Amino acid sequence: MTTTTNRAAAMEDVFSDEGQASSLNLLGHAMAELADRHDDVVVISADMGSALSELRERHPDRYVELGIAETNTISVAAGLAASGFRPYVMAFAPFGMIKCAEQIRTDWAATMLPVTLVTRLSGLAMGYFGASHHAVEDLAIARSITNLTVMTPADNYATLGLLEASHQSAGPVLLRVSEATAPVYSSVPELEPGRFVRVREGNDLTIIGTGAGVGCALGAARALEEQGISVAVLDAAYLKPFDVAAVLDAAATTRAILTVEEHSEVGGLGAAVAEVLGRNGVATRFGSVALPDADLEVGVPAELLERYGITVEGVTRKAQDLLA
Amino acid sequence: MTATLTRLERDRPTTVQDLRVRADWLRLEVIRMIDKAGLGHYSSTFSCAEILSVLYYRVMRLDPATPDWADRDRFLLGKGHAAVGLWPILSDLGYFPREDLDTFGYIGSPLGDHPDMRKAAGVDFSSGSLGHNLSVGLGIAMAARLRGSDHRTFVLIGDGEIQEGQVWEAAMAASHYELGNLVAIVDANGFIGSGPTSELMSIEPLADRFAAFGWHVIELDGHDVDALVTTFADLPAPGSDRPVCLIARTQKGRGVSLMEEAPRAWHVGCLTPEQRDDAIAEISARMQEVSA
């Protein structure tokens, strides 16, 4: 019995982030405020309506529930966008992005329509529910889609900033929300498309994080500082367009680059950084903290993240190895 | 070839006879364009020639001079492979110059084998991946309701296309949201790429299926111009509460004997010069007969 109770308590991590309000509550509130500010915002839900009570109260006509039918939802949003609205689709990461990759490519990206997909429960946030609920390939798929802007907020403040930025985007956007984030910013950060945010200065090592990886990077940087290692931290809030200059600068100004992401090692942040280094003929020490290209374990998120080293401790160890 | 037809303006009283001739004019244009391009979709385009003719020259509220007019009726070609049938009409209505038709299928052309809304004027939405456009049309119909516009959204889908599951997600949502301003037209020509739907994946009973999803269903002969004209004229008001599904029973390759006899063979292809001339002669003779 004790074990069962403990595991149930651990599962609360899925829906509430350590040290801050849950991203679900935050997003519900943020979507309502976005609709307050912009008359052209319509929020479309694929069974995510329980998070949207504020919006449903204030703008019932701009909340569209389409049920457990993600592919239809994506294409319906395209139709609304073709008629002048700025639709926001809220969906679970594995189903909104991975299942609907073709609809997103064809109906949003090839058409260059201003639609935003806000995915929750990305990475291993639903790791307990099995391989079907892992979303660890979504960034690789999204990055390969021409015209799609890819945003990965590091924390709740970044989510607010990127959500507003998505409304200015000329074309489609994936906004991939991480669950297990630690606070990185103390207010909404300045975010510029295609530019990483410099979260921390340092001379020995640059750690580039995306999503929850930024909080891990920051924690590791603080731990490493105590050991006399000076670490710069960059937030890859935009994975596409990608900040090539920031990667080259990191290679030129620090001894090594380490990337951190709650995503497969195939096609995500680490792969993007390696591509930049390779294409530019830059030789530097490089390491990545990411999920292996292998069948992943099933379990509660905190235990899975620990298992795969996507934690402050895991990143710290990896950084030490890289610099050794 | 008859390039001599008078341009038929939208809102101009157009007789049933004019529209019949227009459908055959379209077949001739398609043969001409594919001949120049070297490859194209004939038989799926010929099955909907009358439908396209009646929609564009009689039914839809359009202003080619203002392609982005917010209150225009929308047309989505779900079965995007019939785009070669759209181009002559859009050009004739003034969306782009007739010379563009000669670029069909070549690099840099705005006119492809499937419609691209970013390239060709008059295309309300891109298509090519079957099963998407009914959902997109649903979004456009929803937007019309949100904006208080009384325009309709017509989506022409293939009967093979409705094997895609997404079509039924859209069918479910359209009736849930009571979108009487959404009109799906099923070009039921009975074939998918590799053979008859009845053998490969049955879609029947089609009318019962759409009715069970809450649609107002009308079945008719998709080559009967008279019936098409009457049916479109009698559509329930856009403000009504049930989406409309017209099941147009059609023949793949209609209008060219060679293709009527071997519809699957002429899904994608290019007529030999001899076949082309025979087809043109057959169609032209029929046009003269109708016009006489």
Q: In the 3-class helix/strand/coil scheme, how is chain B assigned residue by residue?
A: CCCCCCCCCCCCCCCHHHHHHHHHHHHHHHHHHHHHHCCECCHHHHCCHHHHHHHHHHHCCCCCCCCCCCCCCEEEECCHHHHHHCHHHHHHHCCCCHHHHHHCCCCCCCCCCCCCCCCCCCCCCCCCCCCCHHHHHHHHHHHHHHHCCCCCEEEEEECCHHHCHHHHHHHHHHHHCCCCCEEEEEEECCEECCEEHHHHCCCCCHHHHHHHCCCEEEEEECCCHHHHHHHHHCCCCCCCCCCEEEEEECCCCCCCHHHHHCCCCCCCECCCHHHHHHHHHHHHHHHHHHHC
User: What is the pLDDT at residue A18?
Assistant: 47
Which token pair is A122? 């990305």
**Tokens representing residue B292 in the block:** 């006489």
Write the pLDDT tens digit of every residue in A241-278. 999 999 999 999 999 999 999 999 999 999 999 999 99
Give me the mean pLDDT over the B26-45 stretch: 97
Give the nearest partner residue to A72 out of B125, B135, B143, using CB atoms. B135
Percentage of chain A exceeding pLDDT 70: 93
Within an 8 Å CB–CB cutoff, is residue B282 touching chain A?
A: no
B165 CA to chain A: closest CA distance, Å? 9
- Give residue A180's pLDDT: 80
Residue where the block lists tokens 């110059």: B97
Residue A300 placed within a domain: yes
Domain definitions of chain B by residue range: 16-291
Q: Which residue of A has its CA nearest to B73?
A: A83
B140 to chain A, any CB pair closer than 8 A? The answer is yes
| Contacting residues of B for A82, CB less than 8 Å apart | 117, 124-125, 136, 139-140, 143
Q: Which of A176, A210, A232 is the last residue of a domain?
A: A176
- The domain tally of chain A equals 2
- Residues of chain B with Cβ-Cβ distance to A64 below 8 Å are 142
pLDDT bucket at B5, cuts 50 / 70 / 90: very low
Specify whether A36 is located in the same domain as A161: yes
- Rounded Cα distance between A101 and B209, Å, is 28
Q: Is A123 in the same domain as A213?
A: no
Largest CA distance in chain B: 54
| A72 and A133 together in one domain | yes
CATH 3.40.50.970 fits B16-291, yes or no: yes
Same-domain status, A9 and A135: yes
Write down the pLDDT at residue A7.
Answer: 55
As annotated, the active-site residues of A are: 70
**Residues A133 and A204 occupy one common structural domain:** no
What is the pLDDT, as a whole number, of residue A9?
54
Would the pLDDT of B291 be above 50? yes
pLDDT for A13 beyond 50: no
pLDDT, tens digit, 9 for 90 and up, residues B135-178: 999 999 999 999 999 999 999 999 999 999 999 999 999 999 99
Give me the domain span that covers residue A258: 197-323
A70 shares a domain with A162? yes
Q: Is pLDDT of A66 > 60?
A: yes
d(CA A223, CA A209): 16
Domain at A133, CATH number: 3.40.50.970
- Region B50-59: mean pLDDT is 95
Assess B124–A contact: CB distance below 8 Å, yes or no. Answer: yes
- Whether A181 is in a domain gets the answer no
CB–CB contact A111 B169 (8 Å): no
The pLDDT value recorded for residue A14 is 52
Nearest-by-Cβ selection for A80 from B132, B143, B166: B143
Q: Are residues A88 and A132 both part of a single domain?
A: yes
We report the CATH number of the domain holding residue A301 as 3.40.50.920
- Across the interface, whether the CB atoms of B138 and A71 are under 8 A apart is answered no
The yes-or-no verdict on residue A295 having pLDDT over 80 is: yes
Q: Which of A1-10, A150-159, B8-17 has the lowest mean pLDDT?
A: A1-10
Task: Report A:83-122 residues touching B (Cβ under 8 A).
Answer: 83-85, 87, 102-103, 106-107, 110-112
All residues of chain A having their beta carbon less than 8 Å from the beta carbon of residue B165 are 71
B154 touches A: beta carbon within 8 Å:
no
**Per-residue confidence at A1, pLDDT binned at 50, 70, 90?**
very low
Evaluate whether residue A190 is within a structural domain. no
* H or E element at residue A44: strand A41-45
Average pLDDT on B217-225 reads 98
Interchain pair B125, A64: CB under 8 A: no
